[in-house]
């Protein structure tokens, strides 16, 4: 009789919900507190992750714009005038993307 009750309790949905509740508490409360207690520098980690990308964009942004313009000009159909217009639009899109990335990745200080 006791074994049947234990088996039923182990297979019950309420136990599964209880386990998921404990997992949620662990993930949402204990992990962030342990990270904070360990003294991790989140801003420094974000800076370290984005610094190489910003340096590469600073150095080679014009190459990205030319690649974008050339791709827009070569891909697709149409006469040479349409391709030139497409290339100019590709250059504009590349420049806007560069400005957007710099705006997002550069520190605001």
Q: What is the signed CA dihedral for 97, 102, 105, 109, rounded to 10 degrees?
A: -150
pTM beyond 0.75: the answer is no
Encoded tokens for 90: 């590709």
Is 71 within 8 Å of 94 (Cβ atoms)?
no
Query: Which of 46, 92, 48 is CA-nearest to residue 68?
Result: 92
Residue environment code for 69-108, b if the CB has 16+ CB neighbours within 10 A, otherwise e: beebbeeeeeeeeebeebbeebbeebbeebeebeeeeeee
**Model confidence over 36-87: pLDDT tens digits?**
677 777 778 788 888 888 888 788 888 878 887 887 778 767 888 888 888 8
Q: Residue 109: is its pLDDT beyond 70? A: no
């Amino acid at each position: 009789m006791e074994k049947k009750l234990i088996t039923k309790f182990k297979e019950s949905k309420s136990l599964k919900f209880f386990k998921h509740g404990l997992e949620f508490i662990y993930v949402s409360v204990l992990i962030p507190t342990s990270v904070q207690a360990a003294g991790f520098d989140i801003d420094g980690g974000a800076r370290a992750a984005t610094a190489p990308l910003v340096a590469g964009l600073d150095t080679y942004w014009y190459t990205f714009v030319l690649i974008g313009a050339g791709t827009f000009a070569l891909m697709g159909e149409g006469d040479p005038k349409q391709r030139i217009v497409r290339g100019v639009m590709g250059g504009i899109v590349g420049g806007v993307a560069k400005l957007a990335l710099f705006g997002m990745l550069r520190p605001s200080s």
